[in-house]
Amino acid sequence: MVEWMPLLMFAAVCLVLVLGYPVAFSLAGTAMLFAGVGIIAGWFDPSYLSALPSRLFGTINNITLMAVPLFVLMGVLLERSRIAEDLLDTMSKLLGRLPGGLGVSVILVGALLAASTGIVGATVVTMGLLSLPTMLKRGYSPSIATGTICATGTLGQIIPPSIALVLLGDTLSTAYQQAQLEMQVQNPETVSVGDLFMGALVPGLLLVAMYLLYTVVQAWRKPESMPPLEEAGDVDVATLLMSLLPPVLLIVTVLGSILVGAATPTEAAAVGALGAAVLAKAKGELSLKRLREVGESTLEVTSMVFMILIGAAVFSLVFRGYGGDDLIQSLFDSMGGGVAMAVLVVMVAIFLLGFILDFIEITFVVVPIVGPILLAMGVDPIWLGIMIAINLQTSFLTPPFGFALFYLRGVAPESVRTRDIYRGVVPFIAMQLVLLVLLALWPDIATALPRWMRG
Side-chain half-sphere exposure of 220, counting CA atoms within 13 A: 6
Query: Under a CB-based contact definition with an 8 Å cutoff, are residues 379 and 347 in contact?
Result: no
Query: Under a CB-based contact definition with an 8 Å cutoff, are residues 145 and 135 in contact?
Result: yes
pLDDT, one tens digit per residue, over 175-201 is 888 888 777 766 667 788 888 988 999
Cis peptide before 400 (omega within 30 of 0): yes
Query: Under a CB-based contact definition with an 8 Å cutoff, are residues 119 and 163 in contact?
Result: yes
Mean local confidence (pLDDT), 79-96: 75
In-domain check, residue 8: no
CA distances from 68 to 71, 281, 301 (A): 5, 22, 9
Query: Under a CB-based contact definition with an 8 Å cutoff, are residues 162 and 118 in contact?
Result: yes
Q: How far apart are the first and last CA of the chain?
A: 51
State pTM to two decimals: 0.83
In-domain check, residue 78: yes
Mean local confidence (pLDDT), 209-221: 91
Closest CA to 385 of 375, 394, 373, 395: 375
In-domain check, residue 16: no
Query: Under a CB-based contact definition with an 8 Å cutoff, are residues 117 and 273 in contact?
Result: no
As a whole number of angstroms, the distance between CA 362 and CA 156 comes to 16
In-domain check, residue 27: no
The answer to whether residue 232 scores a pLDDT higher than 60 is no
The answer to whether residue 409 scores a pLDDT higher than 70 is yes
Q: Residue 233's pLDDT is what? A: 58
In-domain check, residue 25: no
As a whole number of angstroms, the distance between CA 93 and CA 434 comes to 32
Number of structural domains the chain divides into: 1
Mean local confidence (pLDDT), 230-258: 75
pLDDT, one tens digit per residue, over 326-335 is 777 777 777 7
Closest CA to 111 of 78, 160, 65, 53: 160
In-domain check, residue 139: yes
In-domain check, residue 204: yes
Band (211; pLDDT cuts 50, 70, 90): very high
In-domain check, residue 45: no
What's the alpha-carbon Rg for the chain, to the nearest Å? Answer: 22
DSSP-H helix ranges across 97-192: 101-117, 120-137, 142-153, 163-182
Quick one: CA dihedral 377, 383, 386, 387, positive or negative?
Answer: negative
What's the domain range around 220? 65-310+321-454
Q: 3-state DSSP call for residue 323?
A: coil
Exposed, middle or buried: residue 239 (CB in 10 Å: 0-12, 13-18, 19+)? middle
Query: Under a CB-based contact definition with an 8 Å cutoff, are residues 32 and 314 in contact?
Result: yes
